[in-house]
Every structure is written in structure tokens, then in C-alpha cells.
Structure 1
Amino acid sequence: MRIGIVCPYSWDVPGGVQFHIRDLAEHLIRLGHEVSVLAPADDETPLPPYVVSAGRAVPVPYNGSVARLNFGFLSAARVRRWLHDGAFDVIHIHEPTAPSLGLLTCWAAQGPIVATFHTSNPRSRAMIAAYPILQPALEKISARIAVSEYARRTLVEHLGGDAVVIPNGVDVDFFAKAEANPAWQGRTIGFIGRIDEPRKGLPVLMNALPKILAVYPETRLLVAGRGDEKEAVESLPKEMRERVEFLGMVSDEDKARLLRSVDLYVAPNTGGESFGIILVEALSAGAAVLASDLDAFAQVLDQGAAGELFTNEDADALAGAAVRLLGDAERRAELRERGSAHVRRFDWSTVGADILAVYETVTDGAASVATDERTGLRGRLWRRGESGGPTSGSSDALFSGG
């Protein structure tokens, strides 16, 4: 199958949607499909062979964050060229409502279109206001996927229609087989996310850290992600700042090793999350997880069975839960065991098969429609032939290209 996938966000600034698209593309390629991904990217960005650059993106406030998007006449021309060159059996657009490549592709594409909705924002006035503009493009979509029940709810409330829920995928074995790094072991807490994005919740964790250190002063917090390190620790007393180690941006291999090494992984995100891929990665690596009680996080963690939850934005609740878990090795082992079993449902072997089933449904449907139209035209031409018009033979020539 020839599959075209559209990424709305810049390839050179990694995020959950980009990682999902990358992993989906590579999974499909391993299965023997031909895949091309269209994404915004700076000229100097090294790209995998299956990614086509649509040009540089610009930062735009979107869904409580700053997204790097690509939109305009030049982008539209590149979309049309990519569609023409690809001759895809199915086109898979991610975030078609974002002012980026997905919306441009919806307008330009013909044939079966699958769309995945990642955003969870039940109070989006912008999406409601934009609906009249979006509607003609969205009507061309053959099938809709939401990455969680909360992304589905946003879609239903703002745009109408419905979607099948298929979660983001993870290569579970990649994380499960990672080797721990001894330098990252020994009563450690892990955090991975953009340091300078408040909704990722690092300030909440920093506010909780003094109470954790008061009970377990040897604890270290390991922070991986881009952002201003000095600003991140400003809220901490100077004597505690040495207990925080910033690792910067880490490779996928080091991310897996970090998650495999820590005693406790903490996800203090405060909102705007429709899924929580980092939780799935942490569970895959066998980490004991403590997360804010966002609806999407609770769903990923099986309502607290596969990882513990604390009250969102409550630093005291975070500190209390972390102190209890750091002092209870048996409970952490129980969470690791439950999490490792629960996370298998997010493996690409399952998620990829579900997405392929959607592709096959829409391509089969398109083929049926084409057959029906062809049969209907044959019948009309046959009837005209009986009355002195074109014969059945000439209709065969029409459909065979003769």
C-alpha cells in the first residue's frame, strides 16, 4: 500500500505527535508498505529518507503551547506536488484542524483520507469559531481516529461526527530491554519534558522537591528536556539545587535507559494532554509512575491501577505520594509489574494493526464506490447502445483506457 502521512508540526522540534508519526511510518515500512511523510522542517534539519520537507515552520500559540506550523501559498504548492508525486492509496493527516499542512492537504487531496485527532481541549473557542472554514475540508475525511476518549470528546463537541479511539503506539520491547545506567540509580526521580513549558509541570515538581528532600535528603531529580535550567531551579533553596541534575535533550536510547534507571518517574503535567505517551514509555521501561490526575493520564494508567495519581497542580500531594513510594519498595515493584502487563495494549503490534484496519476499510470503500460508479455508467452506456447509442464494447474501451 502507498501511504502518505502528514505531520503538522516541525520535524526539527521533537514532540509527541512527531514521535508517533515517526514510529508509525517506520512500523509500516517494516511491514512492507511504501510510506512518505510530509512535514515542516528547516533546511539544515537531517531527515529520514521517508520524510519530505514542506519548508520552514513558524512558531504559533496553539493548544496552550507554542507549535511550529507551516501554512501559506508556498506550502500549498508543496502539498500539491507531494500528492501528485506520491499517488497514494490512502492519506493519513494528523491534526487536520491545525493551521498547518494537514488542513492544506485536506483541501487539495482526492481519494481516501484518514485523520487522527490528538488535541484535547474541551473549551476551545477558536475551534468553534473556525468550524465554518474547516467544515468543507473535514467533510472530505473518510475515517476519523482519536488518540484517546478525551481527544474524541473534543472532536464530537466542537466539530460533530465521531471517531474510533486508537491510542498512540510505543515499541514496548525497545524500552523494556534497555539497560539501566548506574549513574542514574540510587533513589532517583525522573522527569522528561520541555523545561520552559509550564503545562509540563516542572514548577509543581520543583515546589514539591524540598518536602521530598526533607525526608530523603539523598534523593536526586534527573531532568531531561530542552529549556532554561537556571530558571527552572530558581524556586529551590540554593543548598538543594545540587540535588537536581539536568541532562538536556537525550537520545531515544538514553531516554529508555533513564526510565529504566529511576526509582520513580513523575509526570506533573497540568493540562492540555490528550494522551500521555511518556507514561506509556515509562511503563514500558518498567518504571514506577506517579502522575497528575488528568483525565487522559488516568486512562493511560488504568485509573490508578498501573501507576499512582496525585491531585493536579498540588505540590503537597505530589510530595506526599513521592515520599510514600520512595520508602515502599514493595509498592513500587507492584506498580512496575502491573504497568508492564497493562502497557502491552499500546505496543505497535496492536496499534499498527488497528490503524491498518482503518486504512483497508477506507480504501476498500473507495474501491467499492468506484466499482459502483463504473457499473452504473456501464449500464447507462449499454442502454444507450440498445437504442442506437454507444455499444457495450465502446464502454469496455472507455474503462480499459483504449
Structure 2
Amino acid sequence: MTGTHRPLRVGIVCPYSFDVPGGVQFHVRDLAEALIERGHTVSVLAPADDDTPIPEYMTSAGRAVPVRYNGAVARMTFGPVTAARVRRWLAAGEFDVLHLHEPVTPSLGMLALWIADGPIVATFHTALLRSRPLQMAYPLVRQSLEKISARIAVSEDARRTLVEHMGGDAVVIPNGVYVDAFTGATTDPRWTGTPEAPTIAFLGRLDEPRKGLQVLLGAVPEVLRTHPGARFLVAGRGDTGPDEVRELLGDDARAVEFLGGITDDEKASLLASVDVYCAPQIGGESFGIVLVEAMSAGTPVVASDLGAFRRVLEEGDAGVLFRTGDPADLARTLVRVLGDAPLRAALVERASAAVRRYDWSSVTHEVLTVYEMVVEAADAPVREDPSSWRGARLRDLRRVRGEAR
């Protein structure tokens, strides 16, 4: 493959609604915009309510309904009316390559996989040791999975989930981050800490237990014993609020400030302003995009020692790990990091080098390389074993990325 890519017509299918966007939706949005910036024609199909603002390259597949899925509440759409919309979108798009995200989720990706023909790339985001939804969905798509020309996993954890639940393999291409947008973010005096009053940030859905807010709140009293002026800035939507925290922490609740939902610009500013970003998740994480964003913003990261987080933080070289689900160990770790300025400076220096592999400039090139592989395979004369040819080309990509298999 050369370093340039010919213009392609790309259709991207997002299973989750943009009414309440999360990690997969942001990945789809940023990938689409990175491809458009490089001169490709992109159309995204995703669930969205009629009054939800969406960019012009996006087509709404209709209203979504909330469904509990993989430890979270996902907003998805399904059924014959939605299938008809998918069919019309595919026919109008005449795509060179179709890129499905989470195609075994009972939403748009699964419908598109059933309906579509031609070069298909699928990205898998989920990372769970035992996933009942995947086990239940697999029989519905088992035969259709053979239509997928190439598989991408956003992390080694997501790849392992795919292999264990559905067989086959995937090339690992991580989630992307616009690193410079966080590196150049301006600080906000409302969130900037001082030696006497350091600030610790948390971002995530407040009503999803797997995001670990309860673990961070459990660490608050011990941190305040050493840093009585510390402030814990909690950003995100959900039902948890000051009343629940006051009931849990009593007078220590004064140190917890709820910011509510924040914009992308506010998120970058928050991450650039605080002394530490804390990621206390207890499971279900395939990557850890907000860790990369915090690292890009020049903020030390303290995170639970989930496999996905360990890999992003390079086994503790680019961030500090604590025992997953252990508030006491989190408190000890936060006290140590807040009290050690040289350690924080060293973490920031190592992290600033580590994040470059996640910049969209690199990630987009790798995704385009996969697209060109499957388009080239579709255009090539029939070979005796085309699946092994695809496997060889994906192995070539892995060698380029330096991955061991």
C-alpha cells in the first residue's frame, strides 16, 4: 500500500442513537469527519429523534428506544420500518465500502449486514469476558458474518471478545483522538487547582455502575484527610446528584461538584485544568478514550487496572493504576500522586509521547488501508481462496503496526 488513498464512497452505520451520544457515536462522527477532510464521500446512518441536530453527512434512521445492553443503557432502533430505511440508504449511497460498527448489536448494523452486498468492514467495540447479548445475537448473524470482508477491533480486549464469542480474528486499530485539540485546550479558572486545593475530574454516565463513580466517591473522605481543600469535579448526565452524595458522605460531600453534561470544548478545558483525571471504571471497557484525551491535555491519569486501561497507560508508565473497585487503594493512589509533583510531571512527559499513536491522522490512515484492501479484493479476479488472501493482507497491516500475533 502506498501512503495515498484514492477517493472512496464510504457508508458508515452507527447502531446507537445520537440523542445521547457516547463513545461509539463519537468514534463514528470523528472518523466520518476525518475521512471527509481527506476528500472521501461519507454518509453515516444512525438512529436520531426528529429534533436531534445532526450533521449534513448523517441520515437519521428514526427514533431510538432505550435498551439495557452490555451493562449500559443503549438507544437503538430495529424492525421492518427501520430495515426499509436501511435498504433505501444503501441503494442511494452506492458505496465502495460499507463500514458497520457493532454489527451483532440488534440495531442498524445487524440490519445492514443482512441486507448489504459488496465490500463490508466491521468494527467491534465491545470487551466483556462473558457477554450474554453477544451469545444471544450470534445465531442471528452467524451466516451473515461471512459477508464481512475485514474485521477491526478497537483494542486487544475487544479482539479477544470477538474471537471468544464469534471466532475469526480482527486487526486492532484503536479509537482516535484529535490530540492537538486537547494539547492546545485553554484552562478554566473554575476548574484549576492549587497546591492547597487540587482538583480531580471524573467524566461518565453517573447512573451506570460500571463507570465507577461510586468507587471514586468512596475514596473522597480519605483524600480529604491529607488534602482537605481537594475538589472532585464530576461531569456527565445521570440521576446521581448532590442529595445522594450528601447521604453517602455527609459533610465531605462539600468537596464534590456536579457539572452536568458538558460540551466537547468544555471537556477539553476541564481536562487541561485539573491536577488529576480519575478513571475508576469497574468493567466493560474496551479501550479508554477519555484516558487518551486527558493524556493529550497534559493531565496525569489515575485509573483502575482493567486490561484496556493498562494497555493505554503502557502498564503504568504513562499513568498510575490502582486495584479495580477498591476505594481505599484509589484514595492511597490519589494522595500519592497529588503529593508528588515530580511524578506528575514525569507522567505527563511520557503520556505526551504515547498518545501520538492514537491521533486521527494515524488511525484514519490505518482504516483507509483496510478499506483499500477489501475494495481491491472485490475488484480482483476470483482466487481459489479469497479468505486466505484477506487474511494475508490483514497480516501485512499488522506487521506495519508492529502487532504480534
Give the TM-score taking structure 2 as reference length. 0.90
1:247 to 245, 259, 267: 259
Q: How big is the alpha-carbon RMSD for the aligned residues of Structure 1 and Structure 2? A: 1.3
Q: Which deviations, in whole Å up to 9, do the C-alpha atoms of 1:270-315 show, x marking residues without a partner?
A: 0000111111111111110000000001011111110010000000
Q: Which deviations, in whole Å up to 9, do the C-alpha atoms of 1:168-187 show, x marking residues without a partner?
A: 00000000000111121121
Q: Secondary structure at the match of 1:183?
A: coil
Paired amino acid for 2:13: V
Task: Tell me the equivalent position of 2:291.
Answer: 279
Paired amino acid for 2:345: A
Is 1:154 aligned to residue 161 of structure 2? yes
Is 1:171 aligned to residue 186 of structure 2? no
Task: Tell me the equivalent position of 1:32.
Answer: 39
- Given that 1:79 and 1:104 are in contact with CA atoms closer than 8 Å, whether structure 2 keeps it comes out as yes
Q: Which deviations, in whole Å up to 9, do the C-alpha atoms of 1:322-378 show, x marking residues without a partner?
A: 001111111011111111110100000111100000000000110114799xxxxxx
TM-superposed CA distance for 1:244, in Å, is 1.2
Distance of 1:92 and 1:204 partners within structure 2: 37
Distance of 2:206 and 2:149 partners within structure 1: 38
Q: Secondary structure at the match of 1:71?
A: coil
Paired amino acid for 1:116: T
Is 1:42 aligned to residue 46 of structure 2? no
TM-superposed CA distance for 1:257, in Å, is 0.4
Q: Which runs of 5+ in 2 are unaligned?
A: 1-7, 385-405
Give the TM-score taking structure 1 as reference length. 0.91
Distance of 1:81 and 1:320 partners within structure 2: 56
TM-superposed CA distance for 1:45, in Å, is 0.3
Distance of 1:134 and 1:80 partners within structure 2: 17
Task: Tell me the equivalent position of 2:124.
Answer: 117
Distance of 2:361 and 2:168 partners within structure 1: 28
2:187 to 172, 180, 194: 180
Is 1:361 aligned to residue 388 of structure 2? no
Distance of 2:354 and 2:244 partners within structure 1: 33
1:203 to 211, 214, 225: 214
Task: Tell me the equivalent position of 1:132.
Answer: 139
Distance of 1:280 and 1:235 partners within structure 2: 33
CA 1:36 to 1:231, structure 2 compared with 1: closer, same or farther past 3 Å? farther
Is 1:89 aligned to residue 100 of structure 2? no
Q: Which runs of 5+ in 1 are unaligned?
A: 373-402
Task: Tell me the equivalent position of 1:302.
Answer: 314
Residues matched between the structures, number: 372
Distance of 1:231 and 1:276 partners within structure 2: 29
- Given that 1:207 and 1:235 are in contact with CA atoms closer than 8 Å, whether structure 2 keeps it comes out as no
Q: Secondary structure at the match of 1:185?
A: coil
1:225 to 193, 213, 236: 236
Distance of 1:30 and 1:232 partners within structure 2: 45
Distance of 2:56 and 2:95 partners within structure 1: 17
Task: Tell me the equivalent position of 2:28.
Answer: 21
Task: Tell me the equivalent position of 1:292.
Answer: 304
Distance of 2:140 and 2:86 partners within structure 1: 19
